[in-house]
Structure 1
Amino acid sequence: MSISNPDTPPPHPPPPPVAPLANPSTPQVRPTPQEISDEINPPYRTRLLIILSFPVLFLLATPFWWYTTSIERLPLPVERISALENLPPPDVRSAILLTGSPGSYPSPPPGKAQYAVKDVCEAIGKEVVRGVDGIYAQGRTKGFRWWDLVYEAERRSSPALRVHLTSSDRANTTFPLEPYVQSTEMGLGPGSGLGLSAEIKPGTLVVPAHPSLISDRFLRQHYKIAVINSLLGLYPSDPPEIPLRALKYSPNITLSFVLLNEDSADGSYVRSWDIEGAIRDHFLPHLEPLSPVFNFSIESQILYHAPLSFEPTYGPAFDTDDGQVARAIEAAQGGDQRAEEVAAALLDDRKGDEAWLIDEEMMKVFVNSERWSLDSGSTNNPVLRFLLFVPSAKHRPMRLSVPDSAQSFLLPQFGAVALLNPPTSAPSSQAYHLPLSALSPSFHLFTQHLYSLLALPTYPAKVHPPPPANPLQPPSPLTPPLSRWQVETVLRQRMRENSDEARKTLAGISRLVKKIKEMQVGDGVRGKVLGAVEKLERLQTTPDPLEAFILSRDAVALANQAFFDPSMMGLLYFPNEHKFAVYTPLFAPIAVPMIVGLLKEAIAWNRGRKVSR
């Protein structure tokens, strides 16, 4: 009998018996790499779908990418633009009213019927037309008559161009007749020397005949010759070419008048000037008739410190011939006492008339753009600057060294400069006010420069100055204002310039769009091009010069807006080479793995087919 101890742990149970192996000789099987790869990787079909999803995604996104990156290129009227280049000049014709006074032709003999004024003018007009056509047909350069004579004015629309035959006591008493253009401040009635008449409007070409010449049997021929010569000059077949010194046409032009004190610190400077009166008397009579062509804005300023960028040359400023002085000195050396006196007098004159001279090279750099504040910040329009330069006390008197030259010079497409020397008798510390009388000589020169800068025509030699309103008063020194004849020439001149520029611009747009495939042509550009083409086509059938000018002005504006449209310039400097340089770094890293994966799957698929067979 055994006694158990409660503190002693129970013994461990025996391990279960190990079952014997079914086949002790069979080794343990491990999975192959292919089985492991097949268990880890998705099936073949799933892998193929994943790889194909990338190109499918790109294919589905291609329409959106094409829409967002495509260039809009609307068609342009290329054929109509090409047709415009070959068109002749537009057939713009003006009507000229030919009238006459009852006393401008001889009375018929007693018992003969009195001819009406209209019949007489019509007979003279037919001869004038035949004469002008014959001159154009026989000339070296074939011309065309762009006007027609009419003999009655309609009530609603009266021709702006007029020719009037009249008798005047103040006309030339001998042949040939001296036609003139009626000015605004005077009017000669038929047979009147002083009376004002509303019959002859300002701007009318007047062909006066003295009463003593009315009975001459060749008066009719002289009327014809005078009218033909005047019309050939006032209304030429081809308007004069616009010179390079003139400003290119712009509908808005700013006229800037600047008074330049070289250095007001030296004293004797200009503090104020009557600029309003000078503009009113010298410029407005020429600017107002040009209102259908240009829109002028005027500004003025005074600069008190406008130094030159060079030092003028001090020397003799008179126009005596150096050869004359040399001959006098040579004769004096030979013992001729009279020649010695002449040489001494010439040398004394030269010493006494010395000045600071501005030569032609100095004129080119006269405007000191770095130191002079001439820019107009209030406008982007073309600016014509008229500079009145007052030299400082140490540079007086200042003159131009060019012989026989006025004290002003022209700067092509920029403006003009005039020199004004204050009186030397005044104290050096005085500040001047320039009245209208002191400004008139300089502004008279500025007016002539304005004609050159705007290519304004002057009267031909066959058209004489008009007689003064009062024979007891001297003729006015002011330049006669522009007449309707001159404005008509400006209209034709600028119409030709605008139409040529519009055609060239449209042709340039057509060539650029054809050459640069990446250039965009949107609705805005196409609409402007179509508008310019339509206006140029209407220009060919518009007889009125003013309406034709407006069409040409609008056409060139639309053509320039289309040419410089920002949408056309956007892709002008982004050719195909730049596109490849941008897209290759983006798509190459993605395309290589996709192509390699597709090749592997294709090879695996091909192997699977062979195994299944």
Structure 2
Amino acid sequence: MPLAEGASAPVTSQSSSTTSSAAGATSDSNAQSSTRQPPPETKESIWVRRLVVLSFWLVVLLLGLPVWWKTTAIYRAELPLQDMTDWADDKVCKPVFPLRVAVEASLPLQDAHNLLRTTQHAIDDLNEFSAHHLRLILAESHNSANASQEVVSDGTRVTTDDEDIALAVRLIPVETGTTPRAHLQPYAPTLDVYYTPNQIPTPSSTGSPLASFIAQELHKIFEEEQALLSYLLSTTSTAYSGKTKPKTKTLSAEKTAEIERQFTRALKYASTYHLTFSLFSPTATPSGWEIESVLKHYVSPLLESFSAISNFTVDTQVQLYAEFSPSIHRPEHDESLNAWTLRKEDLSGFINAAEWPLSPSIGTGPTVNFVLYVPGQDQSPLLIKENGGNSWLIPQWGGVVILNPPLQDEGKQASTILTEDALAPAMHAFSNQLLSLLGLPQTPESLPLKLSTLKRVRLASLFFSASSTMGALARLTNALPSIPIPDAVAQSIDSTTKHLQEACNHLHEGRFQGALEHARIAEAEAEKAFFERSMVGQVYFPDEHKVAVYLPLLGPVAVPLLMAGLKEIKSLLKRS
């Protein structure tokens, strides 16, 4: 056993030596494998990889970007921006208001020309407003076609329709009474001037009392019109901004404040107004009114006179058990007036808008509300405390009239129907309120002349409004290149410029009715273009919103493409 053990010892040692050698060989093999590099890429594999990366970039650049650009591009119709700016700056047309005054005189032709010449000089000396001037015309005769053959002060014969004559001056010779004197017809655009034959200027005279008198009367008649137009020109941002700005009429502070109140009180011009006459009562009476006959007698003639400026639609309503607004103080009984009174500061809150059916959306145009309130017997008569009145005007909204019913004897039932006679005072008040809301001037005393003045004032405001709107649209288009401009906007702008040019041509010819029609269309088309829905929706869409939309979608795709491209570019630079 020991020998056997001794004999086996060399064998064990040899086995250990063999194991150590094998371990050393394995260790050398691992070291060599750890330092071994991968085989180099073949040129074919390099070009395949580069072609793959390039193909992705070509798809993105040649297909993806064009499709994205086409599908997300904003269509902008071509607009005449320079022309629009020129209209806004009054470089295309400077409005003028030449008023033709026809003079009818039973005089020899030479004497009539001398009178017109001296009167025209006197008018020009009085005129302070170059954009508004009177042009005297000698009317010779009238034919059956409702036209007049006329001779202007320089002898040139012209033909003019009657509607283009602002005023007719009739020279009437008299032998008695104070002369010269004048009388303006209240319901006709006619000024009667009474004179004696010895007041006619001679051919050698440069002036005469009659010519100066006529000039003064004409200046007085159109003085308020000149003030209104001068105010519009001086306050409108588009009015005569160039170096050729005309001389405007100098207005006092009081006159300016009065005109501002008048414009603030009046409604904005519209081609159609909707009038609503409403009867409200806190009780069950009166339950009806003879409104149709009253409107036909009092309101319809007035609306007919405004037909050349605007159209009107009318409706009526009756609302019983209608209390006035609870937010105001209750009426208080005044012993001195023996009446119930409302404070002046409560008049603005008198309308109970929450319960009274006074919808402003009735009709096709702006609604003008006329409210007739009939208080109950327990609060009658109801008056305004400060002035004892029973009506007031709400600027740019309508008017209110309190109709106090007659006191009834005990046991006698109140009338349930308001008759035409009972409604007459209220209709007179409503008519005056309507004139104020429509902006009718206070002077002159002739209603046709007031309407003619209103026509020219409305014409000027529409003309300036359309020009200003086009200028604003041009500035908006330049400032916001991201808003779309559909073809409808371009068509509206073309229509606006066309009608503005027509209005300008009619203005220079003194044809104010035609100018008003074109200016009305131009203003409507300009407003339509400026408030196009597809444009308004993009006005307040900043670029940050676009980044927030595109970044989450394009980020995961763009980063691998950019990194792969940069890697290939770096590899190419390294190999070169």
* TM-score w.r.t. length of structure 2: 0.75
Amino acid at match of 1:433: I
Match of 1:333 in 2: none
Is the 8 Å Cα contact of residues 173 and 196 (structure 2) preserved in structure 1?
Answer: no
How far 1:129 moved relative to its partner?
1.7
Kindly tell me: are residues 254 and 598 of structure 1, through their superposed partners in 2, closer, same or farther at Cα, counting changes over 3 Å? same
2:382 to 398, 416, 427: 398
Question: How many angstroms apart in 2 are the aligned matches of 1:406 and 1:425?
Answer: 22
Aligned residue for 1:125? 116
- 2:97 touches 2:131 (CA, 8 Å); kept in 1? no
Deviations 1:90-114 (A, max 9, x none): 23323332224x5xxxxxxxxxxxx
Partner of 2:390: 407
Q: How is 1:244-259 mapped onto 2 (pairs within 5 angstroms)?
A: 244-259=264-279
Q: Distance in 2 between matches of 1:547 and 1:589?
A: 65
Match of 1:551 in 2: 518
- Residues 173 and 388 of structure 1, relative CA distance in 2, 3 Å threshold: farther
1:21-100 equivalences in 2 (<5 Å): 43-60=45-62, 61-84=64-87, 85-87=89-91, 89-100=94-105
Tell me how large the CA RMSD over aligned residues is.
Answer: 3.5
Task: Name the residue aligned to 1:417.
Answer: 400
Aligned: 1:567 with 2:541? no
Cα deviation for residue 380 of structure 1 reads 4.6
Aligned counterparts, 1:231-242, within 5 A? 231-236=218-223, 238=226, 240=228
* C-alpha distance 376-572 of structure 1, shift in aligned 2 (>3 A): closer
The 1:79/1:452 distance shift into structure 2, 3 A limit, reads: same
**Match 2:343 to one of 342, 359, 383:** 359
Post-superposition offset of 1:311: 3.6
**Residue segments in structure 2 that go unaligned for 5+ positions in a row:** 1-25, 148-160, 202-207, 232-261
Choose 365-374 or 423-432, whichever is displaced more: 423-432
C-alpha deviation, 1:37, in angstroms = 12
CA distance in structure 1 between the aligned counterparts of 2:103 and 2:49, rounded to whole angstroms: 98
Which amino acid is the alignment partner of residue 78 of structure 1? L
Structure 2 counterparts to residues 429-444 of structure 1, below 5 A: 429-444=413-428
Q: Is the 8 A contact 1:172 1:178 kept in 2?
A: no
CA distance 1:229–1:287, shift in 2 (3 Å): farther
Say whether residues 1:145 and 2:133 are aligned partners. yes
1:516 positional shift: 1.1
* TM-score of the two chains, using structure 1 as the length reference: 0.70
More helix by share: 2
- Summarize the Cα distance change of 1:142–1:523 in structure 2 as closer, same or farther, 3 Å threshold: closer
Residue 510 of structure 1: SS of its match in structure 2?
helix
Identity of aligned residues (%): 25
The residue type paired with residue 300 of structure 1 is T
Residue 282 of structure 1 pairs with residue 298 of structure 2: yes
Give me the whole-angstrom Cα distance separating, in 2, the residues matched to 1:153 and 1:553: 34
Write the distance in 1 (CA, Å) between the matches of 2:570 and 2:96. Answer: 79
Alignment CA distance shift 1:571-1:98 (3 Å): same
Which secondary structure state, in structure 2, belongs to the residue aligned with residue 421 of structure 1? coil
How many residues were matched structurally? Answer: 482
Whole-angstrom distance in 1 between the partners of 2:198 and 2:573? 118
Closer, same or farther in 2 for the Cα pair 1:606/1:217, shift >3 Å?
A: closer
Q: Sort the Cα spacing of 1:148 and 1:532 in 2 relative to 1 into closer, same or farther, 3 A.
A: farther
Q: CA deviation at 1:556?
A: 1.0
1:272 matches 2:288: yes
Residue 500 of structure 1, CA deviation: 1.2
Distance 1:35 1:143 in 2: 94
- Asked if the contact 1:181/1:206 (under 8 Å) is kept, the reply is yes
1:163 and 2:127 correspond: no
- The aligned counterpart of 2:475 is 511
Change (3 A) 1:147 1:36: same
Aligned: 1:388 with 2:372:
yes
Within 1, Cα distance between the matches of 2:119 and 2:468? 38
DSSP 3-state at the match of 1:437: helix
Decide which of 502, 507, 510 is 1:538's aligned counterpart. Answer: 502
Q: Which moved more, 1:563-572 or 1:147-156?
A: 147-156
**294-303 or 597-606, which deviates more:** 597-606
User: In the aligned structure 1, how far is the partner of 2:459 from the partner of 2:80?
Assistant: 23
Equivalent residues of 1:253, 1:383 under 8 A apart: yes
- Secondary structure, counterpart of 2:162 in structure 1: coil
Shift of 1:448: 1.1
Using a 3 Å threshold, how does the CA distance of structure 1 residues 536 and 603 change in structure 2: closer, same or farther? Answer: closer
Q: Is the 8 A contact 2:97 2:132 kept in 1?
A: no
Match of 1:582 among 549, 552, 576: 549
Note the C-alpha offset of 1:208: 5.7
The structure with the largest alpha-carbon Rg is: 1
In 2, distance between residues paired with 1:602 and 1:498?
65
Give the conservation status (yes or no) of the 8 Å contact 2:279–2:319. yes
**Is the Cα–Cα contact under 8 Å of residues 410 and 417 in structure 1 kept in the other structure?**
yes
Q: Could you report, residue by residue, the CA deviation over 1:245-293 in whole angstroms, capped at 9, with x for unpaired residues?
A: 10011111111111111232xxxx2111121222222222221122121
Query: SS state of the match for residue 367, structure 1?
Result: coil
For residues 390 and 34 of structure 1, the distance between their equivalents in structure 2, rounded to whole angstroms, comes to 107
**CA-CA distance at 1:514 after TM superposition:** 1.1
Tell me, in whole angstroms, the C-alpha distance in 2 between the residues paired with 1:597 and 1:167. 102
Change in CA separation of 1:377 and 1:249 when aligned onto 2, cut-off 3 Å = closer
Contact 1:207 / 1:227 at 8 angstroms: preserved in 2? no
Note if contact 1:91-1:146 (Cα within 8 Å) is conserved in structure 2.
Answer: no
Q: Could you tell me which residue of structure 2 aligns to residue 379 of structure 1?
A: 363
Of 415-424 and 541-550, deviating more is 541-550
What's the CA shift string for 1:494-540, capped at 9, x where partnerless?
01101111121111111111111212223221222232223323333
- 1:599/1:217 Cα in 2 relative to 1: closer, same or farther (>3 Å)? closer
- 1:207 aligns with one of 186, 192, 199: 192
